[in-house]
Amino acid sequence: MYDIRSMERSEIAELMAKLGEPKFRAEQVWRWTAAAVGGFDEMTNLPKNLREKLAECCELHRPEMLAEQKSSDGTIKYLWGLSDGSAVESVVMQYHHGNTVCISTQVGCRMGCAFCASTRGGKLRDLTPGEMLDEVQWSSKASGLDISNIVLMGIGEPLDNFDNVMKFLRMVGAPEGAGIGMRHISLSTCGPEGGIERLAEEDLQLTLSVSLHAPDDETRSRLMPINRASGGVKRLIERCNAYRKATGRRVSYEYLLASGITDTDEKAELLAKLLSGSDGHVNLIPLNHVDGSPLEPSDPERVRRFKEILESRGVNVTVRRRMGADIDAACGQLRSKRQNG
């Protein structure tokens, strides 16, 4: 079976040639799949026998909305049921500059970060390019909102599903589909070995966001097991600096503020030192508490002080606005609640 939703225009053209169909039919089919059509029977400008032929050799699923939660700040979270019965989350956030969708890249995650709900049951499988496109386009259809930006910050580690994510990134720019270009996309990673390097080779104009969360190896390894396997924080910053050099794109660092653990004055000083000499931007994220985790969010006064120290050391820093705090919008929370009953 062909996964037709994950096929690019040229691949659909090849398939249609194989099926003995004229070129203009390939173009018609591509337009339907790019637009996230729900099934072959909806491809109304194709003859019935062609629709049947396609249904025999291709899969085309429409994700099933298992849950929708709306926050008072306009954030909407979806739990999507996939063809194999698994589920992933997408979140639509409304900002003044446009609407952003945060999508998942894997079903579960194998990175094992201590603060994250997505990793609790491990990784079940990678998402296909088509499933990621579905998250973008069906979130837009379901919410009735145009989407102008995408962040790959949902469930999963995008660089652990490298080839599918690259294909998704190529396809999501297609004007017949979502039409969202690289400059409107951010990819968030915890920095698995080799991943940032491979991404640099692709030389894309997207924004690379690196989940740093601690400025020293002891703390980062405790929170994020990937730290040990990928050579530690100093090496991570070197890898990011090399990425910056190769692509010309400034790297953004995500830094979680967990009370007493990552938010002390000492950590702020260490972080400023670690980043001196790089022009990265730091995004401070107030932790979202997840059930069963000993980590607690920092109080607002601590957040203010932490930011102040970084600024006084010349670090470019912002505090991320909390969106959807009333609807379990933290990574993986909705999915994990459902799995637990």
Catalytically annotated residue among 21, 89, 131, 157:
89
**185 vs 14: CA distance, rounded Å:** 29
Task: Give whichever of 93 and 290 is closer to ligand SAH, judged by the CB atom.
Answer: 290
Region binding ligand SAH by CB under 6 A among candidate stretches 78-86, 185-193, 200-208, 272-280: 185-193
Got the DSSP string for 142-199? Answer: HHT----EEEE-SSS-GGGGHHHHHHHHHHTT-TTTT---GGGEEEEE---TTHHHHH
Task: Give whichever of 157 and 263 is closer to ligand SAH, judged by the CB atom.
Answer: 157
**272 vs 262: CA distance, rounded Å:** 13
258 contributes a contact to ligand SAH by CB under 6 A = no
150 contributes a contact to ligand SAH by CB under 6 A = no
Whose CA is closest to 133, among 84, 77, 173, 91? 173
Active site residue 331: yes
The site that binds ligand SAH (CB under 6 A) totals a number of residues, namely: 17
Whose CA is closest to 188, among 174, 207, 172? 207
Question: In whole angstroms, how close is the CB of 159 to ligand SAH at the nearest point?
Answer: 8
Question: In whole angstroms, how close is the CB of 66 to ligand SAH at the nearest point?
Answer: 20
Could you tell me whether strands 98-102 and 87-95 are parallel, antiparallel, or unpaired per DSSP bridges?
antiparallel
Q: Which residues pair with 123 in a beta bridge?
A: 108
46-80 b/e (C-beta count within 10 Å ≥ 16 → b):
beeebbebbeeebebbbbeebbebebeeebbbbbb
Among 6, 149, 188, 252, binds ligand SAH (CB under 6 A): 188
The contact mask relative to ligand SAH for 198-217 (x = CB under 6 A, - = no) is: -------------x------
- Residue numbers 81-120 binding ligand SAH by CB under 6 A: 111, 115-116
Task: Give whichever of 5 and 123 is closer to ligand SAH, judged by the CB atom.
Answer: 123
Active site residues: 89, 331
Query: What is the contact surface with ligand SAH in residues (CB under 6 A)?
Result: 111, 115-116, 153, 157, 188-190, 211, 254, 256, 285, 287-288, 290, 330-331
